[in-house]
Structure 1
Amino acid sequence: MVDLSLAEKCENLMNVVVESRKKFGKMCIDYEQKTSLVENKMLNLQLETISNYRFKPKQTVPNIDVEDMCQDIDNFSEEILERYNRIESLQKRLGTTQDVILQLKSDKISRKLREPMTAELLLAKAKNKLVWDIRTDSIIF
């Protein structure tokens, strides 16, 4: 063995490395498979224990009477209908109020009432309305 050349020594060492890689690669693959099997068994065991466990509720669910529920639903529907009718009547009253407002805006008397009433303004209007009658040589109101 002493007489082996450097190339043969390298080749022998490479063969040893390749064989050790094969051996340890198989061992790693086996290890991975075994660990995944164990993990799956543990998960299945945990799922089994959880599924078999009976949970107790913190609060018991009350037994609700069907008649009471129906009565509550009927009361609620009546309340909704009442509110709907009130809204409809408010809409009708709003429409009539809008009509009244439009009439007031177009009414001449309401326009006159909106103008400020002062003595000076009334005198000025009266002076403008005065008409001089030429025949009688007097003021006509």
Structure 2
Amino acid sequence: MELEDSSPVNECENLMNVVVESRKRFGKMCVEYEQKTSLMENKILNYHIETFASKKFKPKNYVTTPVSDDSKEIEDFSLELIEISKRFEDVRKKVKDTQEVVLQLKNDIVKKRLREPLSVDAILAKVKVKKVS
């Protein structure tokens, strides 16, 4: 009886081993196939990129440059802007110079002395204040 039981078990094990081995072999083949197909796809894509890069495309419609009054208007406008910016810079310089003159006048000692009265009594009072302190 044991011989009868062992033979189907052995056969089943043998069949399972065959299935496992075939799965391993076909799995390796599938992985290799995937690698080869991706390699070929990359080569084809690189070839397409190289061919597109080497081609020179000609436009269907050529763009013409406008040679009408628009260019003259643009040039006049740019000259006007340059002139306005120059005037603005001149005004800025004048304001800065005026500010410097005002600061110099505020700090001028001669001007302060001229504001003081030049009477004898005022000068004596000022000297007395200096001697006391």
TM bracket (short chain): 0.3 to 0.5
TM-score for both structures, normalised by structure 2 = 0.47
Question: Whose helix fraction is larger, Structure 1's or Structure 2's?
Answer: 2
Which structure has more strand as a fraction of its residues? 1
Larger RCO, structure (CA 8 Å, separation 6 or more): 1
